């Protein structure tokens, strides 16, 4: 599924949940933050702040903690080798990796580099793509369609679809693996996926 820009910023997530996530990021330690709560590294383009806050809120709502590199007090003020080392270390220590895949993020050197690191340490059970297109555009115009064929995606089910066995799929967010050679798509509720180790 490709969401339209603003989909997640419209969620009714409280500011207090987002503020708590931001507070945790500022003091993130890959050694000390391996708790029972899942840690999620969110790769993003800094222009995508509203959608980013919505994703963070959704993760916080489900009991998880997000990591955003630009909010990390331990990051160097100027991008350098230490920046790359810190990001690599955090991706490795986080339980999950999510790419907020807007067109600008797909074109970003850093986001693609982070996705490569995520691929190395999290593939395929602990990585997901959130595909976001510009408002008013068609799905075929989305620049990251090849990503959707390789990586699991975060999708939304409206409660009107059915599993192969005829049981209704409850409304909510899911992590969907790419369709297999038989055209079958396996989905896991986002709330379950976050806690899978």
pLDDT digits (tens, 9 = 90+) for 154-186: 999 999 999 888 999 999 999 999 998 998 899
The pLDDT of 147-151, averaged and rounded, is 90
What are the distances in angstroms from CA 53 to CA 67, 75, 80, 145, 192?
11, 20, 26, 24, 21
pLDDT of residue 49: 81
The domain that holds 14 is classified in CATH as 3.40.50.10140
Task: Tell me: pLDDT of 86 over 70.
Answer: yes
Report the range of poorest mean pLDDT among 18-27, 113-122, 156-165: 18-27
Dump the DSSP string for 30-93. TTTT-SSSPEEEEE--GGGHHHHHHHHHHHHHTT-EEE-GGG-TTS-SS-SHHHHHHHHHHHHH
Cβ proximity of 94 and 24 under 8 Å: no
Range of the domain at 49: 2-195
- How many domains, the chain? 1
Work out the mean pLDDT of the chain and round it to a whole number. 86
pLDDT of residue 126: 96
Task: Tell me: pLDDT of 31 over 50.
Answer: no
Residue 156 region by backbone torsions, left for phi larger than 0, else alpha for psi between -120 and 50, else beta: beta
């Amino acid at each position: 599924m490709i969401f339209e820009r603003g989909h997640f910023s419209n969620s009714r997530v409280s500011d207090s949940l987002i503020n708590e996530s931001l507070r945790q990021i500022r003091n993130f330690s890959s050694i000390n933050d391996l708790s029972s709560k899942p840690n999620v590294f969110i790769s993003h383009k800094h222009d995508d702040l509203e959608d980013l806050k919505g994703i963070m809120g959704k993760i916080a709502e489900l009991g998880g903690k997000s990591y955003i590199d630009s909010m990390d007090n331990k990051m160097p003020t100027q991008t350098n080798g230490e920046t790359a080392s810190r990001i690599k270390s955090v991706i490795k220590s986080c339980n999950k990796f999510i790419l907020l895949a807007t067109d600008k993020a797909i074109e970003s050197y850093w986001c693609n580099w982070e996705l490569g690191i995520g691929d190395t340490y999290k593939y395929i059970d602990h990585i997901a793509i959130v595909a976001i297109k510009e408002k008013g555009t068609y799905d075929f115009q989305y620049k990251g369609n090849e990503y959707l064929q390789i990586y699991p995606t975060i999708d939304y089910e409206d409660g009107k679809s059915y599993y192969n066995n005829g049981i209704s799929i409850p409304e909510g967010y899911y992590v969907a693996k790419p369709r297999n050679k038989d055209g079958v798509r396996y989905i896991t509720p986002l709330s379950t996926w976050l806690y899978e180790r």
